[in-house]
Amino acid sequence: MLKSMTGFAKAQKTTTFGLLTCELHSVNRKSLEIKTYLPKALLFLDAEIKKWIQMSISRGSIYCHIHLQLEKEHIHVHLNDIALEKLHTSLKKSFAKLKLDLDATAFATLFNKEDLFTIETKINKPDLLKKELKGVLGKALKELCQIKQDEGKNLQKDIEKQFVSIHSFLKQIEKQAKSIFQATKKKFLDRLKEWSKTKEDQERLFKEAALLCERADITEEIVRLHSHLKEVTKLIKSKESLGKTIEFFIQEMNRETNTISQKSNSVNIAQKTILIKSHLEKIREQIQNVE
């Protein structure tokens, strides 16, 4: 079953530590890349978070945003008394020199200076926080995977339609190729009989003609294309994530189609190969969004 690489999911829970929110955003990428955006209180779980995500997703760029709105008992503000006293003394002198009043409001506006105070988050039960986070992230991952799977079903249906068209064109090519090959071979051999003057010339020309006919035969390419179609049909129904493998088969099918177009001396077959390549290009674009 195909899974899309794009999706968004969000999960929330009010815990003893505060409101915990997890947002996951997934986009296309050839390999797996996980980027986390965490508050300071959760930085110690960064490696664990990436491992949990990796257990559920194998391909794509995953952006994980986690927010923790801590309860007040987990937040501690520490004032720098020495720096505060020095600032107050300095401001009093400056304001007096300028003949201005230093009231409480004016002094409070200067409290955005980082060296005046520090904010510390204190987590007393990190194991419990880890458990809570794993639960919220798990819920978001489950939702994201479901969204990716639903979109993958739509992709699979469309790809299967493309395969039906390709199979139809291939059958037409196969039918035309047999009749064209036999007719061309007979016509070529008849002309050789007319051109050859001796038995030795005739034998040599027949061998060269047989070699040329063999090079023009597209039976092997058609067989391989049928085989690739069959294999990819199995792959898209598999439970595993095989986007890269399917991409490889699409490339091989394109190569076989190009060879058929080059070897066949038929306008009708050439037109059919163009149509097949058009469908293969559509599939290739869709597979780029498959995990």
Average pLDDT, integer, range 252-263: 90
> Is residue 61 within 8 Å of 26, Cβ to Cβ?
yes
Q: Hey, which of 73-82, 139-148, 280-289 has the most confident mean pLDDT?
A: 139-148
Residue 71 pLDDT exceeds 70:
no
- Residues 82-110: tens digit of each pLDDT: 666 776 677 677 667 766 565 655 555 56
Question: No. of H helices and E strands in the chain?
Answer: 8, 6
- Residues 111-156: tens digit of each pLDDT: 555 566 666 677 778 899 899 999 999 999 999 999 999 999 999 9
7-73+125-149 folds as Ribosomal Protein S5; domain 2 (3.30.230)
Domain ranges of the chain: 7-73+125-149, 74-121, 151-287
Give 281-284 contacts, CB < 8 A, sequence gap 24+: 282/162, 283/159, 283/162, 283/163, 283/250, 284/247, 284/250, 284/254
- The amino acid at residue 6 is T
> Is residue 35 within 8 Å of 63, Cβ to Cβ?
yes
Helical H segments across 14-125, by residue range: 46-54, 81-97, 104-108
Tokens 């097949």 correspond to what residue? 276
What is the pLDDT, as a whole number, of residue 244? 83
- Between these two residues, 214 and 285, which has the higher pLDDT value? 285
pTM of the model: 0.70
